[in-house]
Chain A
């Protein structure tokens, strides 16, 4: 039986709840879990002041309610599974190394920053900075997967080093900014200044977008890896038509200020990419 936490008192200020991870709740009874300390605003509080806790920890955690003010859910987790039945707040799965988080609703900013393993699935929309580096750090997501079924905000995968970020809808500006490696796949539209400062890595979109002048057109081709990645995303539930799997794709190289080793791929719809 999994541990079930149901919100009975909605927090009016942010509640920092990095204890909400399978490992930290492992072996605890519902009563003991309710006694754990969280930080409410700048004051310590007990988890039970906000949640009704039932069941027992067995590596799976179910959180129900409007958790949009809960920060750090699953931060640093290395194993197990968290299912959020409702929206989740900022810093979801920050620095996680393994396991899975599924959010049935929307997620706030900073989903999976600097994570190195595991999978985060957001069934709704996500905020800014998903899979990115924290301010000051050079490296964002180092491994693992983030799937957003809806749209995402700005700076998706900033400083990304490895792993996969997939967005079913559109994403905001600066996707893959300062990206070092890894893959970002956006089934919808990209915002402005995609891949600014990217050193290596791949950004894929199904629609042409306005690129910076430091990106240059290379060729049209059918990348073999697309035929592996997109069916994989399809199996995970993202809507991927066969035409997208087949290609071809326009390949743009950039960012020239970092020696043109990165690439942005657009599904070739006959529509030309725009120059910034």
Chain B
């Protein structure tokens, strides 16, 4: 910081400010975008290049206990992909779940400058923040798992809605989280209580509680919006991966009743089933899902596209991991986090000749191509679940290049393509402007990060400059320049500096009296003393609190 920079002659794509490929200067001073800089400022000549805000990943799994378990369970993945140190950067290992340093550098090397870890049990908050500190370049935060929290369930069950809201605010605040995350609400109780049990419907009774997923989800949507959180609630719906689950997804979205809610990796929740056939035989219902999102401006989603090849299934949805394990027959991990959450991890390979995998791949593309509002159907592969973040450039090419898409469609299981509408929407090609929306502007807006995802005066100086190239995969794989907080991290394709990035979190107000409700529960059931539970400020040193408001901002344009 402290230096000034002027980027000249580049085609600028800044959708939040309506700039669509205009050749104009971008000026940077002291880590911020400014209107002008002194004439002696360093100039970057971006002729023949594309200037965009730094990428923002709204949903990925990059830090915390489960990510570490995934690293531990796959030593072979790391042995084969060594990330050597350079003069400016530290060493690490890659694979589908890279080590912390490699994660930050590899995101940066694709032009990404912000990312949100999408599922952390409150008890894992400290560990996660420590790993995020070791994840360089990126600004980052995490979503805290609250959708299977036993105490919150008790408060809901007893109709203590105000205390529920206060307790939710307490949990988000003391863990230094960014947003509340629901994962397969109610399923942990079923999974823990019965052999191979899961939630299958929104009105199913949750084991041990007089509650249903419908009540739980509605309560969190209401509370998240009332607290004015910048990203009110991030929902992994019930029935992920099951044939016919699109009905559950539609029902879940209806529960928002006009309030903001974000449905994550919606591709995994857009499956139909063949009438009269086994429920194991999925079909695409992307059309129904996209139609609902298109017509409900309070709802946003990230796609969670599937890319062929190695991935790591890593989820707080423990029953799902067990189901996948029945297909993979390989090593897996299943874990329980006291009264807060569960988790399952296993290596998984998506194969283009496999009917279900090909269908999943196609549904991801369908959702993008059927979306009418790119501000509310944004980019993700649910890294590393649907595929590594390293596959983002390939996914961008699939969206921008219909000839390439046709070539790839010819290679996959053709029966799968008969059960989706990808062939009907293959004329559409995303423009650079739309790519800038779904990878930058929209995720930043949906997260309530007003200083990110755009290049207007006052924004964080997170800028990526790509060489224009007809091969969009190559173009988005290798930015020529990456600027983070005004510092030139990648200069002419090479790392020239390191950068720590900062933790982004929220601190919603809560009534301190709520601790009188929470503490006895800790004394009775937790393995950790109440006083030791809240994460202190040292864990977010240099971080940034994103303000909450009384009323959450609208999702769409």
Contacts and interface: CB of A to CB of B under 8 A. Distances in A.
B330 A138 contact: yes
Contacts of B79: 134, 136
A137 interface: yes
B426 interface: no
Contacts of B73: 136
A39 B124 CA distance: 38
A83 B331 CA distance: 39
Nearest to B74: A136
Interface in A129-152: 134-138
B164 to A, nearest CB: 43
Interface on chain A toward B: helix, strand, loop, or mixed SS?
Answer: loop
Nearest to B73: A136
Interface residues of B, number: 8
Q: Describe B's contact surface by its main secondary structure.
A: helix
A138 B330 CA distance: 8
Interface in A115-174: 134-138
Contacts of B77: 136
A189 to B, nearest CB: 32
Nearest to A114: B76
Contacts of A135: 75-76
Nearest to A139: B76
A110 to B, nearest CB: 13
Interface in A69-86: none
Contacts of A137: 76
Interface in B285-339: 330-331
Nearest to B77: A136
A135 B77 CA distance: 11
Contacts of A136: 73-77, 79
B75 to A, nearest CB: 4
Nearest to A133: B76
Nearest to A136: B75
Bin the interface of chain A by size.
under 10
A200 to B, nearest CB: 15
Contacts of B330: 138
A136 B73 CA distance: 7
A72 to B, nearest CB: 13
B31 to A, nearest CB: 37
A216 to B, nearest CB: 24
A138 to B, nearest CB: 6
Contacts of B76: 134-137
Contacts of B331: 138
B516 to A, nearest CB: 48
Q: Which of A134, A136, A137 has the most CB of B within 10 A?
A: A136
A198 to B, nearest CB: 15
A136 B76 CA distance: 5
A231 to B, nearest CB: 37
A137 B95 CA distance: 14
A138 B76 CA distance: 9
Contacts of B74: 136
Nearest to B329: A138
B4 to A, nearest CB: 40
Contacts of A138: 330-331
Interface string B50-79: 000000000000000000000001111101
Interface in B60-112: 73-77, 79
A138 B346 CA distance: 13
A16 to B, nearest CB: 13
A138 B77 CA distance: 12
A136 B75 CA distance: 5
A136 B70 CA distance: 12
A135 B79 CA distance: 10
B416 to A, nearest CB: 27
Nearest to A137: B76
Interface in B314-372: 330-331
A135 B331 CA distance: 12
A207 to B, nearest CB: 34
A76 to B, nearest CB: 12
A135 B75 CA distance: 7
A135 B78 CA distance: 12
Nearest to B78: A136
A259 to B, nearest CB: 12
A134 B74 CA distance: 11
A138 B332 CA distance: 13
B82 to A, nearest CB: 13
Interface in A222-248: none
A137 B330 CA distance: 10
A260 B73 CA distance: 28
Nearest to B72: A136
A42 to B, nearest CB: 12
A113 to B, nearest CB: 11
Contacts of B75: 134-136
B522 to A, nearest CB: 37
A135 B73 CA distance: 10
Nearest to A138: B330
A100 B74 CA distance: 31
A138 B75 CA distance: 11
B312 to A, nearest CB: 13
Contacts of A134: 75-76, 79
Interface string B475-488: 00000000000000
A136 B331 CA distance: 9
Query: Which of B73, B79, B330 has the most CB atoms of chain A within a 10 A radius of its CB?
Result: B79
A272 B74 CA distance: 42
A225 B77 CA distance: 37
A91 to B, nearest CB: 12
A134 B76 CA distance: 7
A235 to B, nearest CB: 36
B494 to A, nearest CB: 22
A137 B77 CA distance: 9
A180 to B, nearest CB: 12
B79 to A, nearest CB: 7
B288 to A, nearest CB: 39
Centre residue among B76, B77, B331 by max chain A CB count within 10 A: B76
A138 B79 CA distance: 14
A243 to B, nearest CB: 41
A10 B75 CA distance: 32
14 contacts: A134-B75, A134-B76, A134-B79, A135-B75, A135-B76, A136-B73, A136-B74, A136-B75, A136-B76, A136-B77, A136-B79, A137-B76, A138-B330, A138-B331
Given A135-B75, A136-B74, 12 more contacts: A134-B75, A134-B76, A134-B79, A135-B76, A136-B73, A136-B75, A136-B76, A136-B77, A136-B79, A137-B76, A138-B330, A138-B331
Interface of A: 134-138
A-B pairs, top 8 by smallest CB distance, nearest first, are: A136-B75, A136-B76, A137-B76, A135-B75, A136-B74, A134-B76, A138-B330, A134-B79
